Amino acid sequence: MNNSSSDNQRRARVFRNSVVSFCLVVAAIATLVLVCSAAKKKPNSIAQQTMMAANYPGNDADKFWQHAKKEVDRSVNEMIAQDHAALAKGIRFHNFIHGSPALKEIAITFDDGPHPQFTPQLLAILKQYDVKATFFVVGEKAEVAPDLIRAEVAGGHSVGNHTYHHVSLTKIPEEYVATEIKACGEVLKKITGKPAHLFRPPGGDYDQQVSMDAEALGYTTVLWTDDPGDYASPGDKVIKTRLLDKVNNGGIILIHDGVQQTIDVLPSILSYLKSKGYTFVTVDKMMKDSGARF
């Protein structure tokens, strides 16, 4: 009887210990899973935190995302017509389309960088010709190449916001427009220590919502007057002809960071326009000189 009772007690103790051990193992595994998933979900930048807070779908293969990534290329005339139509309705946004026609100033702007290979070459050419320019950079590219952004600032150039993912802002749901602009702005502020105040919508694609969001976030939307279509690599001669035939006082030239032909043709464009008496200024200086008050 005694033996059997102590056997039972022993069995009960062994069972209890097994249950406790089992529970401990389960708890340990659960904790590990939680810690791992928390570590995985933890955003590693302010920009990503902003996107997470907005439930931004990011790089997923959403339909809107695929659509929004397709390059849009608005013509200068379309943009001017849009601006005039807004003005006619009494809507006036902080848009800067060209500088003063009375001043022999040109603002040269480089979009879509920074590019690890081409941006340093562009900076070297600009330095050689003592030209100050404006770079409209993509947040996700800037985030992985902060030294290039710092080099642009150190070279006396202006750096503007070109969204975080380079999406066409009229093609994503309205609630994400501000997130795209904000996330890029946060990257730039972290790198340069100062908030950016110039913004260019990818492809020049904007509407009232985009303008309102950009303005509310403290930006002036900067468009352009001259677009030689360099991103399509039409050939050095075509780029030169398209630019040099038309560019005028207060012109804002749109070219890109990641194009070999742009690098090839840039020195001759700079020296030709300088020989015609033009001064190259940043968009900031052009705005100031033209008396634009935003």
How far from 103 is each of 51, 91, 137, CA to CA, in Å? 42, 27, 27
Question: Least separation, in Å, of the C-beta of 134 and Zn ion?
Answer: 13
Span of 35-43, 110-118, 205-213, 262-270 interacting with Zn ion by CB under 5 A:
110-118
Q: Are 280 and 251 in contact (CB under 8 A)?
A: no
Among 111, 180, 186, 227, binds Zn ion (CB under 5 A): 111
258 in contact with Zn ion (CB under 5 A): no
Site string for Zn ion, 193-212 (x = CB under 5 A): ---------x----------
Give the rounded distance of the alpha carbon of 29 from its chain centre.
Answer: 41
| Long-range Cβ contacts of 123-128 (<8 Å, 24+ apart) | 123/151, 123/152, 123/155, 123/157, 125/263, 125/266, 125/267, 125/270, 126/155, 126/157, 127/155, 128/267
Among positions 212-251, residues that touch Zn ion (CB under 5 A) are none
Question: Least separation, in Å, of the C-beta of 125 and Zn ion?
Answer: 20
Question: Least separation, in Å, of the C-beta of 112 and Zn ion?
Answer: 4
Question: Least separation, in Å, of the C-beta of 127 and Zn ion?
Answer: 24
Among 47, 93, 110, 112, binds Zn ion (CB under 5 A): 112
In this complex, which beta carbon is closest to Zn ion, that of residue 160 or of residue 202?
Answer: 202
Site string for Zn ion, 161-200 (x = CB under 5 A): ----------------------------------------
In this complex, which beta carbon is closest to Zn ion, that of residue 105 or of residue 180?
Answer: 180
Question: Least separation, in Å, of the C-beta of 223 and Zn ion?
Answer: 12
Phi, psi of 216 (to 5 degrees): -65, -25
How far from 75 is each of 27, 80, 186, 226, CA to CA, in Å? 62, 9, 29, 9
**Catalytic residue positions?**
111, 256
Beta bridge partners, 134, equal 109, 158
Span of 25-33, 94-102, 105-113, 184-192 interacting with Zn ion by CB under 5 A:
105-113
Phi, psi of 256 (to 5 degrees): -125, 155
In this complex, which beta carbon is closest to Zn ion, that of residue 83 or of residue 111?
Answer: 111
- Per DSSP, which regions of the chain are E strands? 95-96, 105-113, 134-137, 158-161, 198-199, 220-222, 251-256, 279-281
What is the phi-psi region of residue 124: left when phi exceeds 0, alpha when psi lies from -120 to 50, beta otherwise?
A: alpha
**How many residues bind to Zn ion according to rule CB under 5 A?**
3
Chain contacts with Zn ion (rule: CB under 5 A): 111-112, 202
